[in-house]
Amino acid sequence: MAKTRVGVLRGGPSSEFDVSLKTGGAILSALRDNFSDEYQVIDIFIDQKGIWHIDGIAIKPEQAIHRVDVMFNALHGAYGEDGKIQGFLEMHSVPYTGSESLASAVGMNKTMTNQVLARHGIKIPLSREIPSVDIRQNPEALAREIFTSFPIPAVIKPVSGGSSHGVSIVRRHADVAPALLKAAEHDRAVLIQEFISGIEATCGIIENFRNEPLYALPPIEIRPDAEFFDFDAKYKGKSKEIVPATFSHQLKKDLETLSRTVHSALGLRHYSRSDFIIHPRRGIYFLEVNTLPGLTNESLIPKALRAVGGTLHQFADHLIKLAIKLS
């Protein structure tokens, strides 16, 4: 019986290049070490210029996809998570893991995501979007206007993107303009959100797993050493991630229900992870969704899987089978 040819896409032109390499590397190892009889695993590396490679040799994307039966999308950020690679694979009828192109594009855009979820009754921090071009033209004037009209402290971040690149918390007028310019470097628009204090939490969803259509992994309680769950906290061990969380039974159930609602409302596919902040009096607020959560050794989905007796290789196999079945 011929092996299924699985291409693992990793790298890419986004600021999350390094994280994607680690996610892809973890998937390559998981599949090669545990499914050598079932899968022929192909490492497809995309460099930061967007050039595809197999075995160190540059190859056209159209040629690469003809060497595989299914793609495991281990890309993060722009191109890999915003619907572009998904649209390319859909155009060529190549099955792949993760959400489809439209849902990926919406999920990557924090403003659009918030608009959809607000209609489903999910609490969203007060938000405002500003085009990056307006920020570059007159950052100081915008900073003054924001500081006098928007609740401070505030979170300033790119509308799209992940791994907390370009994110700042501002408390003083002098901090606003630099934070706006920093976020504008990463995207065409910047999102300003009300800062809500509380405990951060995240919860993963897996489709058709353990006999449940939308299986909720145990919520994780996040206590970063810094003021928020930034890049260093996520990938350099500078946070305390408690799984299972110490929350009450009801709070855990509420987080699981909200994560299922996010996944369904946005039309996501296969798996996702939603991030929340829990205010002691105002309750649970949605922060953002990850349509392609990291799968590195430090990532949260693998930690939650281990907490319920799961493994990364079982999870990867499950996603591949979902992708092939739904193609």
CATH code, domain carrying 131 = 3.30.1490.20
Structural domain of 176: 127-194
Is the four-CA dihedral 272, 273, 275, 276 of positive or negative sign? positive
- The answer to whether the beta carbons of residues 235 and 281 sit under 8 Å apart is no
**147 located within any domain:** yes
Nearest to 75 by CA among 27, 12, 5: 12
- pLDDT band, very low/low/confident/very high, at 15 (cuts 50, 70, 90): confident
pLDDT tens-place string over residues 139-166: 999 999 999 999 999 999 999 875 567 8
**261 located within any domain:** yes
Contacting residues for 108 by C-beta, under 8 A, at least 6 apart: 81, 82, 83, 160, 161, 291
As a whole number of angstroms, the distance between CA 164 and CA 222 comes to 15
- The answer to whether the beta carbons of residues 68 and 42 sit under 8 Å apart is yes
As a whole number of angstroms, the distance between CA 101 and CA 85 comes to 8
Residues 112 and 238 in one domain: yes
Residues 208 and 118 in one domain: yes
As a whole number of angstroms, the distance between CA 130 and CA 264 comes to 28
The mean pLDDT value for 42-70 works out to 97
- The answer to whether the beta carbons of residues 12 and 20 sit under 8 Å apart is yes
Work out how many domains the chain is built from and give that number.
3
- pLDDT band, very low/low/confident/very high, at 82 (cuts 50, 70, 90): very high
Amino acid (one-letter) located at 43: D
As a whole number of angstroms, the distance between CA 168 and CA 128 comes to 15
Residue 165: the pLDDT is 78
Is 226 a residue whose pLDDT tops 80? Answer: no
- The answer to whether the beta carbons of residues 180 and 156 sit under 8 Å apart is yes
Residue 166: the pLDDT is 86
pTM over 0.75: yes
What does the block give as tokens for 2?
A: 């011929």
In Å, how far are 7, 71, 91, 110, 147 from 43, measured between CA atoms? Answer: 6, 10, 21, 31, 48
- The answer to whether the beta carbons of residues 7 and 96 sit under 8 Å apart is no
Residues 155 and 203 in one domain: no
Residues 187 and 50 in one domain: no
**170 located within any domain:** yes
Residues 157 and 252 in one domain: no
Axis-axis angle for helices 249-265, 110-118 (nearest 10)? 110
Residue 237: the pLDDT is 54
**322 located within any domain:** no
**232 located within any domain:** yes
Residues 67 and 118 in one domain: no
Residues 57 and 138 in one domain: no
Residue 298: the pLDDT is 85
Residues 116 and 48 in one domain: no
**319 located within any domain:** no
Residues 120 and 260 in one domain: yes
**275 located within any domain:** yes
Write down the residue that tokens 């902040």 correspond to. 277
Is 128 a residue whose pLDDT tops 70? Answer: yes
The strand pair at 239-242 and 220-224 is best described as antiparallel
Residues 117 and 232 in one domain: yes
**66 located within any domain:** yes
Residues 141 and 155 in one domain: yes
Residue 162: the pLDDT is 59
Which contacts qualify for 301-304: CB closer than 8 Å, 24 or more apart? 301/204, 301/217, 301/271, 301/273, 302/26, 303/220, 303/241, 303/243, 304/204, 304/217, 304/218, 304/220, 304/243
The mean pLDDT value for 78-85 works out to 95
CATH number at residue 84: 3.40.50.20
CATH number at residue 201: 3.30.470.20
Residues 210 and 279 in one domain: yes
* Residue ranges with strand state E in 74-174: 127-131, 154-158, 168-170
The mean pLDDT value for 168-192 works out to 94
Residue 186: the pLDDT is 87
Q: State which of 149, 165, 194 marks the end of a domain.
A: 194
What does the block give as tokens for 32?
A: 């090669």
